[in-house]
């Protein structure tokens, strides 16, 4: 099977398996989204969703967060992973948004990556959700699934991102990111993948 054919078959099956292609983070605006994505690094979406209601109740806008103290924010997010760094990052991010972008969360990848605590993966997630940007955010789930399904041999997240974007039509990329992520999160897990229940097993290079 040629690579383009592999992509076509796998994307079609992923769409059928995961028809609801959306983030599992709870948010109601771009400010809440970018904070939630920063907090979700090496942490489950479920834990973030349990944490953010109190955070957003106390700091409902980016301007409120920009004026917060480290101690105030840390107290509200201490149950997630790396709360010290993340508290500093989201405060600094908010301050930069206020000072450099008039209090509006930017949508451009380069602008997003200029914010403290925002790397390429976070920038791609935010841009694809806010602005339907034709990008693929590569986290550990997407990286793993892309390799197992033979979609990429890239050795870095950026290399995998470029491979996926080279073969996935621009209009499909925001959804494809979620298809791959959800498949890795619930079926093609790092440990004990659910191969016996996976509709993609015939096309998987790592099925057991």
Distances (CA, A) of 11 to 7, 38, 136: 6, 28, 14
Catalytic residue among 121, 153, 201, 205: 121
Active site residue 86: no
Tokens of 121: 């993966």
CB 200 within 8 Å of CB 182: no
Catalytic residue among 86, 139, 163, 175: 139
Active site residue 139: yes
Query: SS3 sequence, 67-129?
Result: CCCHHHHHHHHCCCCCHHHHHHHHHHHHHHHHHHHCCCCCCCHHHHHCCCCCCHHHHHHHHHH
Eight-class DSSP state of 197: G
Eight-class DSSP state of 133: -
Chain mean position to CA 45 = 10
Burial of 102 (0-12, 13-18, 19+ CB in 10 A): exposed
| Residues known to be catalytic | 121, 139
């Amino acid at each position: 099977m040629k690579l383009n054919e592999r992509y076509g078959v796998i994307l079609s099956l992923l769409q059928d398996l995961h028809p609801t292609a959306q983030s599992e983070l709870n948010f109601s605006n771009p400010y809440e989204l970018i904070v939630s994505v920063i907090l979700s690094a090496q942490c489950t979406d479920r834990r973030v969703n349990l944490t953010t209601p109190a955070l957003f109740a106390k700091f409902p806008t980016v301007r409120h967060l920009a004026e917060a103290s480290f101690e105030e924010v840390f107290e509200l997010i201490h149950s997630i992973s790396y709360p010290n760094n993340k508290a500093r990052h989201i405060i600094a991010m908010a301050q930069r948004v206020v000072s450099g972008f008039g209090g509006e969360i930017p949508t451009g990848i380069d602008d997003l990556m200029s914010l403290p605590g925002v790397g390429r993966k976070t920038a791609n997630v935010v841009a694809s959700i806010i602005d339907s940007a034709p990008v693929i955010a590569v986290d550990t789930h997407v990286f793993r699934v892309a390799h197992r399904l033979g979609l990429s041999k890239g050795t870095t997240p950026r290399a995998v991102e470029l491979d996926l974007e080279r073969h996935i039509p621009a209009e499909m990329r925001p959804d494809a990111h979620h298809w791959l992520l959800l498949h890795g999160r619930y079926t093609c897990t790092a440990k004990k993948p659910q191969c016996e229940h996976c509709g993609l097993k015939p096309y998987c290079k790592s099925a057991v």
